[in-house]
Amino acid sequence: MIEKRDGNHIPCVDSGSYPLRAGNRVVPLVDGEPAFRRICEAVEAAQHSVWVTVAFIEPRFRMPDGRGDFFDVLGRAHDRGVDVRVIFWRHLVLEQLRPNTHFPGTKEQRAELAARGLGFLARWDQAHGNYCHHQKSWLVDAGTPEEIAFVGGINLDVGSMAPAGHPPREGGTTHDVYVEVRGPSATDVHHNFVQRWNEASDRDAADGTWPAAHDAANLHFPKVLSPPAGSVPAQIQRTVRRERYSDGSAAVAAEPFDVASGETSVVDQYRLALASARRTIYVEDQTIASPEVNELLAGALDRGVEVVFLVPGEPAEQVVAARSQPDRQTFWDSLRALGESPHFTLAAIASNRSSGGYQEIYVHAKIALADDAWCTIGSTNIANRSFYGDTELNASFWHGETVRALRVELFREHLGIDTTDFDDRASLQLFRKVARENAQRRELGEKLEGLAYALDPATYAM
């Protein structure tokens, strides 16, 4: 008999803009192809509005099932009379260094929008310095009883359009997660969009809106919560640098890592969850780069908590570069120390190539689960940049049945084993066993059983 847990021992934060709200329906969406299929279905059923925040997008990205690209999907919705709005992040230096990774509204890009006859509304938004407006959200029929929000970390890039199971394919594949939210917490995603739309940095610039001459009126903030749609308590959490919004709320302008300024409810929630976990912590993240999180994980391990942390087997170049920085050595020592605990597993995922060898699966997810009772899904990496500098959006929820079902789905993909009849501790112990056995198989060039394989924390990113 699997014990049911409600997560009441894991507190919610009171430092953010939005409270914990009861009555939500929450559906995690694992991997890009299933996630974008569901998002497209919601867009195609929209009656009133589709509002999107975009960080990264590649020109070659295509939606599933022959739906075309991002602009095709939004253009069809607009042609049906739906109010379609997009907030694009703009970083002109990045466009010079890494072109075709985001959509800063260059002269050429705007000409393409015109040539395609796209009439939806857009605003461009620059972040402070080299930071990123990193939120990735979709909001369908905002302000109506049918309001649906999607919050997550999946970029609009080719690698992210990955099917469940990640079979090998040319060009690589990325593992990622979104979450669908209906009910009162969806209204908080609505509020977040209105803040960003009304205060988009370039809203008054000649090239800061699309079409250039569209009505510049701001959106109204929601006054009524969406009605209950389920039984899941959820809370929308953010990283936002401090500034004054038009509704009078303070949300960013001091230095990025000044904890006293801005909204840091995502990292605040991580502190509470990792410090409160009693049995298990399971994390999937693009980075492991927060000294504070390492310290919290060490404390959890001392309490006997089982910890599995899934990262890319081939980490991003910034992570590799950090290995050689003298001021970062204390962090890498703390990661090595985590690896000395028998309860800690650092792991990656890869698939077997039919011709032999392995294809690495890039872990881009930003999720954490604790005790089969609490989960967060969003855009926030476990790194100070995401915790204090970039603009981020997460949805946390406290609902044992939903969290456990997500854990079972993820482990079925990563281990090739159904853990429905396992509790959370037994499942993470099984993960460790399979991952370590697969690490040995890789050393021998043998076929992996499942996808997960263990990494050595002492040498990760070297």
Average pLDDT of the residues in 397-412: 98
pLDDT of residue 251: 39
pLDDT value for 249: 44
Residue 1: the pLDDT is: 52
Per-residue confidence (pLDDT) for residue 216, from 0 to 100: 66
- Quick: pLDDT tens for 6-61: 789 999 999 999 999 999 999 999 999 999 999 999 999 999 999 999 999 999 99
Least confident of 188-197, 212-221, 451-460: 212-221
pLDDT at 217: 77
- Mean pLDDT score across all residues of the chain: 94
Question: Is this model's pTM higher than 0.85 or not?
Answer: yes
Summarised one tens digit per residue, pLDDT across range 409-435 is 999 999 999 999 999 999 999 999 999
Residues 191-219: tens digit of each pLDDT? 999 999 999 999 999 999 999 866 667 99
Q: What is the mean pLDDT of residues 175-186?
A: 98
| Shared fold status for 21-237 and 263-454 | yes
What's the CATH class of domain 263-454?
alpha beta
Q: Domain spans of the chain?
A: 21-237, 263-454
What's the whole-number mean pLDDT along residues 117-130?
94
Q: Is the CATH number 1.10.443.10 carried by domain 21-237? A: no
235 has which bridge partners? Answer: 396
pLDDT band at 2 (very low <50, low <70, confident <90, very high): low
Predicted confidence (pLDDT) at residue 320 exceeds the cutoff of 70: yes
pLDDT digit string (tens) for 332-368? 999 999 999 999 999 999 999 999 999 999 999 999 9
Determine what percent of the chain is predicted with pLDDT higher than 90.
89
What is residue 423's predicted lDDT score, i.e. its pLDDT?
97
